[in-house]
Amino acid sequence: MGFLDALVAFANYVLLPGITYGSQLALGALGATLVYGILRFSNFAHGDTMAFGTMATILATWGLQAMGVGLGPLPTALLALPAGILATVLFVLATDRLVYRTYRTRKVNSLTLVMVSLGVMFVMNGLVRIVIGVDDRQFADGARFVFTAAQFRAWTGLTESLALRTTQVVTVALTVLVVGWLHWFLQRTRTGKSMRAFSDNENLALLSGIDPERVVAIVWVLSAALATLAGVLYGLDKSFRPFTYFQLLLPVFAAAVVGGFGNPLGAVAGGFVIAFSEVFVTYSFKKVLGYLLPAAWQPEGLAQLLTTDYKVAVSFTVLVLVLLFRPTGIFRGKSA
């Protein structure tokens, strides 16, 4: 009995949050890694792109809610997603046209593009704050739980309980769908393969007749869509505050780099590695150990590796360690 309780506690406080957060990071990292693989620079505006996309979706959600449209047990934001994605895609394509395109005709250092993306980041950050303000926004509606902790306890009779939130199921389901689709797109379609070719060897791709502007446009579209989706899922799960999204940039980059920057499979793996590291290292194992260990060995304190405040630092430490010992990442991304 104790073992099952331990398992349930572990699942509730580590496994479920880890999977959910990992999915959100995976989606975010996918967007960043695609841009790095094709456009060959780290887009520091990605976190604020997530914020922009979420903001657009929230506005559309409010519009739908005002019209009385809902999605039953599922969050209305899912209906608003296409509008949010469209707005973000248009904005991102505009920034490419106005800002980044001139740098493609002249060969520039990738770090110059990083600086430029800092400028874009500032602009997006300011816009989001101006349009929607800096306060916390909750925009999840519909059923909150698929089953509550009390229901679980009633079914299983265990002391420890597991609650499954709708947003968690939605996150994982959408992530699986999107990652699956992206994999199919990159591996099986002509356009997807042309993008992989472009990422692999730009000159040869041009020689083969692949249109660079088309590839670039598709990358921006995909990146914006993924960023919006990741941002909306994160915001549904927790809440939306522009500042938090800027902070998400760092774990997202960590996830992409850890998995192998430029490698989409790596981005997904990296997302989970970072998420689980954060949750694992800062989780208080007192409860779990309490169920597993005999009474004499019970931990006194919270049995945490690091306090919860250090969550932010964990993804960095993992990132720095990976960069020092295995710079190409888990799945060998681009090295140059």
Partner 1 sequence: MSAATRNVLLFAAVAGLIVLTGFTQSWNAALAIVNMGLISAVMALGVNISWGYAGLYNIGTMGFVALGGLATVLVATPPTEGAWRAGGFRIVAALVFGALVVAAAASLYRRLPKGGWRRSAALAAVLVVGFYVYRLVLDPAVAAVEAINPALQGNLGGLGLPVLLSWPVGGLLAAGAGWLIGKTALGLRSDYLAIATLGIAEIVIAVLKNEDWLDRGVKNIVDIPRPVPYEIDLQSSPAFVSFMSGIGADPGAASAIVVKLLYAGLFLAVLLSLLWLCEAALNSPWGRMMRAIRDNETAAAAMGKDVTSRHLQVFVLGCAVLGIAGAMMATLEGQLTPGAFQPLRFTFLVWVMVVVGGSGNNFGAVLGGVLVWYLWVQVEPWGNALMALATSGMADGSPLRQHLLDSAAQMRPLVMGVILILMLRFRPQGLIPGK
Partner 2 sequence: MTPFLIGEAMTGGYGGADILNGCTIAVEKGEIAVIVGPNGAGKSTAMKAVFGMLKLREGSVRLGGEDIGRLQPQQRVAKGMAFVPQTENVFTSMTVEENLEMGAFLRRDDFRATMEQVYALFPVLKDKRRQAAGELSGGQRQQVAVGRALMTEPSVLLLDEPTAGVSPIVMDELFDRIIDVARTGVTVLMVEQNARQALEIADRGYVLVQGANRFTGSGAELLANPEVRATFLGG
Q: Tell me: does residue 327 bind partner 1 (CB under 8 A).
A: yes
CA–CA dist 17, 283 (Å, integer): 11
Sign of the torsion angle spanned by Cα atoms 117, 118, 119, 122: positive
The b-or-e profile of 292-319 (16+ CB within 10 A means b, else e) is beeeeeeeeeeeeeeeeeeeeebbeebb
Q: Which residue has the tokens 């505050």?
A: 241
State the Rg of the chain over Cα: 21
Give the one residue of 69, 173, 293, 320 binding partner 1; rule: CB under 8 A: 320
Which position among 11, 127, 206, 289 is part of the footprint of partner 2 (CB under 8 A)?
206
Inter-CA distances, 76 with 79, 189, 235, Å: 5, 32, 13
The pair phi, psi for residue 136, each rounded to 5°, is -65, 135
Length of the chain: 336
Residue number with CB closer to partner 2 (109 or 191): 191
Binding of partner 2 at residue 209 (CB under 8 A)? Answer: yes
Candidate list 116, 216, 218, 255; residue touching partner 1; CB under 8 A: 116
Strands of the chain (E only): list them.
145-147, 164-165
Site for partner 1 contains 66 (CB under 8 A): no
3-class secondary structure, 173: helix
Nearer residue to partner 1 within complex by CB, 246 or 276? 246
Nearer to partner 1, 131 or 177 (CB): 131
| The one segment of 97-105, 160-168, 200-208, 320-328 that binds partner 2 by CB under 8 A | 200-208
Q: Does 33 bind partner 1 (CB under 8 A)?
A: no
Comparing CB distances to partner 2, the nearer of 138 and 208 is 208
Binding site partner of 193, from partner 1, partner 2, none, Cβ cut-off 5-8 A by kind: partner 2
Q: Does 324 bind partner 1 (CB under 8 A)?
A: yes
Q: Which residue has the tokens 């895609």?
A: 89
Give the single-character DSSP code of 158: -
Using CA atoms, how far apart are residues 292 and 7, in angstroms rounded to an integer? 9
Binding status of residue 208 toward partner 2 by CB under 8 A = yes
What phi and psi, each to the nearest 5 degrees, are found at residue 74? -90, 155
Q: Which of 29, 92, 254, 273 binds partner 1 (CB under 8 A)?
A: 254
User: Judged by CB under 8 A, which stretch of 127-135, 141-149, 196-204, 218-226 contacts partner 2?
Assistant: 196-204
Helix 212-237 crosses helix 46-66 at what angle (to 10 degrees)? 60
Collapse the DSSP code of 146 into the 3-class scheme (helix H, G, I; strand E, B; otherwise coil) and give the result.
strand
Q: Is residue 73 a contact point for partner 1 (CB under 8 A)?
A: no
Partner interacting with residue 197 (select from partner 2, partner 1, none; CB below 5-8 Å by kind): partner 2
Return the structure tokens found at 14.
């580590």
Contact indicator for 237, 174 with CB cutoff of 8 Å: no
Alpha-carbon distance of 250 to 13, in angstroms, equals: 23
209 or 294: CB nearest partner 2: 209
If one asks whether residue 190 binds partner 2 (CB under 8 A), the answer comes out as yes
**Residue of 102, 159, 189, 201 that binds partner 1 (CB under 8 A):** 102
- Of 207 and 309, the one with the shorter C-beta distance to partner 1 is 309
Interface with partner 1 (CB under 8 A), residue total: 46
Binding site for partner 2 (CB under 8 A): 190, 193-194, 196-197, 200-201, 203-210
Contacts to partner 1 by CB under 8 A: 41-42, 99, 102, 110-112, 114-116, 118-127, 129-131, 133-134, 246, 250, 253-254, 257, 301, 305, 307, 309-310, 312-313, 315-317, 319-320, 323-324, 327, 335
